[in-house]
Amino acid sequence: MWSTFIVQDEEVRTGNASAGVHQPSCALEGFLGSRGGGRKRRHRTNPTSGDGMGESQEGKIKLTLFLAVLGIMLTVLGVGTEFWVELTPPKSFYNNQTCLVAHYGLWKCCTKTFWVSDLDPKQEICGPSHLHGESNCTFFKFYTTGENIVLFQKTPEKDLTVASAMLAIISLFLMVMGAMCIIMAVSKGVQFFLKPAAACFILSGVLIFLCLLIFHQSVLLFLASDQSIPLRHEMSWSVTCVGCAGALAVVAGVLFVVIALPYSPWKKCLPKKNSDI
């Protein structure tokens, strides 16, 4: 049987050679096959080398992205609400049966009126604002007409309030841009977008803390504008949300920088001990 197969194979080659058909050698076929297989292997191993990412690294990126998205949600909640600072005067400030409490944020100011008889007789101040009372809220007009608002015969610092609002909007924009970069990095399977995203998150966190400092300074200047009117101020839960968002943004940015490094910082800082020692 083998002799018949060899004879037939030689006859086919002889016929092709007489017809002028060139047959590639087995060595050339093996060389081409090895090149094709090498390309396929390089294509399969590309996500785990160089600019690619593995499954474990992708999981770390998604977990860090969850922290960043949580920071974005807290930023939206804090910036959109008006519970940044609460102002409470004494109960006897108006010398009547009602007293007034005010709280405001970056865009809106609210006042709430309470009956003095409904408050605790032992407390000296009006409020707190979470009690039931008649509420009245208005948006700041200095964003549109330039008019300032008057609270307890005082006017808040318009320029500092606008500056803090602009910083909050810029930081929120940077957070969204960083999240988009991370989504592109995960979808494309490359680490190129990790460093820009880390820069966006770290810068947004710094801007949020700067926004809080400027807003607090505006509150202090507002209280110091007229010392004859005693007011007690307290930073409310919206500031807490924004502060936590800034901390999450900075932590997420640092983690993205660590993930983007070509080596593991833990292995560099904590090398494995030699078992022979």
Cβ atoms within 10 Å of 56's Cβ, excluding its own: 8
Level-2 CATH architecture, domain 54-262: Up-down Bundle (1.20)
Q: Which of 147-151, 173-177, 273-277 has the highest mean pLDDT?
A: 173-177
First and final C-alpha spacing in the chain? 66
pLDDT in tens, 194-238: 899 999 999 999 999 999 999 999 999 988 887 777 888 889 999
Question: Quick one: tokens of 76?
Answer: 């939206």
Pair 234, 84: CB distance under 8 Å: no
Question: To the nearest whole number, what is the mean pLDDT of the chain?
Answer: 78
Q: Please state, in angstroms and rounded to a whole number, the distance separating the CA atoms of residues 219 and 104.
A: 10
Pair 92, 123: CB distance under 8 Å: no
With vertex at residue 46, the alpha carbon angle to CA 42 and CA 52, rounded to the nearest 5 degrees, is: 170
Confidence of residue 166 (pLDDT cuts 50, 70, 90): very high
Token look-up 């502060």 returns 243
The whole-number pLDDT of residue 51 equals 52
Q: Please state, in angstroms and rounded to a whole number, the distance separating the CA atoms of residues 123 and 119.
A: 8
Sign of the CA dihedral 215, 216, 222, 224?
negative
The whole-number pLDDT of residue 267 equals 57
- Residue 51 CB-half CA count within 13 A: 8
The whole-number pLDDT of residue 50 equals 47
pTM as predicted: 0.74
> What are φ and ψ of residue 151, in 5° steps?
-130, 120
